[in-house]
Amino acid sequence: MSLTSNRKDSVAVVGVGTTKWGAMPEHDATSLGIWALREAAEDAGIRLQDIDGLICQRLTDYQKFVQVTNITPKLVTATPGAGRMTGGTIQLAVQAILSGLLDTVAVVYGNDGRSAGAKYGGKGDSYGTGADQMWFPYGMTSPGAVHSMLFQRHAHLYHSTIEQLGTVSLTFRQHATLNPEAVMRKPITMDDYLASRFICEPLRLLDYCLINDGGVALILTAGDRAKDLKQKPVYVRGIAQQSRLAQGELPEDFGYAAMQRASKTVHEMAEVGRDDVDALMIYDNFTPIVLFALEGFGYAPRGEGGAFVQSGALALGGRYPTNTNGGHLSESYMQGWNLQAEAVRQLRGGLGARQVPGAETVQYLQGGPLCTSIIYGTEAA
Amino acid sequence: MNTLEYKKPLPPITEQSRPFWQATRERRLQLPRCDHCGTFHTYFEPWCSQCGGEGVHWETLSGRGRIWANCRFHKHYFPGFDGPYNVAMVELEEGPRIMTNIVGTAHGTLDEIPIGMAVQAVFEDVNDTVTLVKFQPVEAPQP
C-alpha cells in the first residue's frame, strides 16, 4: 500500500442537513452542528457511525461532538470560525476523499452567533493587522466598514451606485420570499432600502447580512460509493482557493487578481465554463462584495458588476439566478454554508417556486480575502 | 485635556511601535522602513512583506497625502464616540496607506472628504502620553 494506492477520481455530496435559522438560545454552536449532522445523515441514508472523517468549522467543542454523536472518525479536525474559511474546509474534505485517506467525511458548521451576541466590530475585532493600535483609536473596526470603504473606492473608480447595491439586497430578498426557511421574507422596495438606517455610511442595515443561530452539515464521499446511496449525488467538479491576505485589508484591486486565479483553476478542474453555469451562490456578508465577486470571477467586466446586477441577471428567471435561498442578506448569515446547502438542493431539484429549471451546474463564489470557488454538478467531471 | 474624560480606545504601545508614538508626540509622522528594499511598513514587525528582509529603520514622512477611501460610522462599536464620525484611509505621498480621521471640515460628512482630496497630517494630543495623527484638507485654515 502506498500513499496514493486508494486514489478516487470523483467526490460527491450525498447528504445535506440544515437546522432552522434564528434565535435558538437552547442550543450552543456544537449542538447546532450535531442537529445539522443528524439531518444530513438521515438525508444521505447512512448511519452516523459510517462517518470516518469529521471536519468542524466554528463550533469549538469537537470532543462533545463525537461524544454525543458516538462517531469514531479516523480523522477529526476543526477550522477557525470565519466565513472565509468555508471553502478551504470543504477542500480538505474533498482532498481527503480523493487521496483515499477517508471514505465518508462530514463537514459540520455550527454558529450560535445570535444568542451568544457575536460582534463583528469593536474590541476583539481582528479584521485589520494591528488594528488595536492603528484602527481602533480612530474608531475604525468591523468587516462592514471595510466593505463600506471598498465600495466607496469602487464607486470612485467605476461610478457604481447605491441603487446597484440596493438591487442586490432587493433581489436576494425577493428570493427569500419564496423560501419558507428564510429569516427575512418581507418583500422590500428601493424606497425601503434607501430609508433603512446607515450602519457605516454608505452602507445601510439592508446591505448587511443577518447574524443568526444555525448549523449546516454536508456529507461527502467518493463518486463510486455515492451512486449507491439514497440521494442523487451532487458532484464537486472543481474547487479552488487563492488568498490575497498579503496585500492588506483594503486590497488595491478588490481582490480581482486572486479571484481570477481561483476562477481559472476551478473552471479547468470542472471542465465547464461560465456559459455552462445555471446558477450562482455568492458569499454576501455585505452587498458590495457581490459586485466585486462578479467582476473577479469573470461574470461581469471590471467595474460593471453593478450594471450587471441592475440588468436582472441575478434574479430568478435571469441568466444567473443567485442566492436563490435569499443568501446571507435575507435567509441567514451562515458564513457560506447555507449557500453550499442551496447549491446541492438546486441540483437535486424540487425546490418549488425558487427552483432554477433544469439546473445542472452551480458555482459558488467567495470574494476576498480567501477567494474561493466551487463548481457543483449533476455529473462528475 | 483631562485624561479621565477620554474614553475612545487608546493604542497599546509596544516596544516595536514606540518610535511611532514618540514621533507623534513631536508632531512628526514617522514609519518603519525596510533596510533592504526601502518599503515603508504600516505594521510593527522587523520583517518586510515585500522583499523578505529583516531590519527596519525609522523615517519621517511629509505628512502630505490624499484620501484613498472613506466611510462614516453611524453605529458605534467603541465608547467615547458621539454621533456619526468619519474614518478615512489616506495614501501618503511616499506610498503607504494608513487609517485616520479627517478633521477640520464643517460637518465631517463624506461629501466634504472625497476620495482624491489632498490632506495634511495634524497631531491631536489625547492624553499625557498619546498623540494621534489625523488629517485635514490642505486648503483648510490652520488651527
pLDDT digits (tens, 9 = 90+) for B28-79: 999 999 999 999 999 999 999 999 999 999 999 999 999 999 999 999 999 9
Cis before A202? omega within 30 = yes
Work out the burial of residue A15: count CB atoms within 10 Å of its CB; fewer than 13 is exposed, 13-18 middle, 19 or more buried.
buried
Work out the burial of residue A58: count CB atoms within 10 Å of its CB; fewer than 13 is exposed, 13-18 middle, 19 or more buried.
buried
Residue where the block lists cell 463525537: A66
Express as a percent the part of chain A with pLDDT over 90.
Answer: 88
Measured distance CA(A12)–CA(A32) in Å, rounded: 24
* DSSP 8-state class, residue A203: E
Cβ contact, residue pair A149, B73, below 8 Å? no
Please say whether the beta carbons of A106 and A218 come within 8 A.
Answer: yes
Please say whether the beta carbons of A21 and A72 come within 8 A.
Answer: no
* ipTM associated with this complex: 0.95
Measured distance CA(A198)–CA(B43) in Å, rounded: 31
Cβ contact, residue pair A141, B10, below 8 Å? no
Question: Which of A62, A193, A208, A283 is the catalytic position?
Answer: A283
Residue numbers in B near A165 (CB within 8 A): none
How many other C-beta atoms can be found within 10 angstroms of the C-beta atom of residue A70? 8
Contact partners, residue B72, CB within 8 Å, separation at least 6: A198, A200, A201, A202, B84, B85, B86, B87, B108, B109, B110
Average pLDDT rounded to a whole number, residues A14-24: 97
Cβ contact, residue pair A139, B78, below 8 Å? yes
Q: Distance from A74 to chain B by nearest Cα, in Å?
A: 38
Express as a percent the part of chain B with pLDDT over 70.
Answer: 94
Residues for chain A: how many in total?
Answer: 381
Among A129, A133, A142, A154, pick the best mutation site for testing chain B contact (most B Cβ within 10 A): A133
Mean pLDDT of chain A, nearest integer? 95
Measured distance CA(B77)–CA(B80) in Å, rounded: 10
Structure confidence at residue B128 (pLDDT): 92
Measured distance CA(A310)–CA(A307) in Å, rounded: 5
* DSSP 8-state class, residue A130: T
pLDDT tens, position by position, A216-272:
999 999 999 999 999 999 999 999 999 988 777 788 899 999 999 999 999 999 999
Measured distance CA(A338)–CA(A330) in Å, rounded: 11
* DSSP 8-state class, residue B135: E
Handedness of CA B87, B88, B92, B98 (dihedral sign): positive
pLDDT tens, position by position, A136-173:
999 999 999 999 999 999 999 999 999 999 999 999 99
pLDDT interval class at A281 (50, 70, 90):
very high
Residue A324 has pLDDT above 60, yes or no: yes
Pairing of strands A75-79, A53-57: parallel
pLDDT tens, position by position, A284-323:
999 999 999 999 999 999 999 999 999 999 999 999 999 9
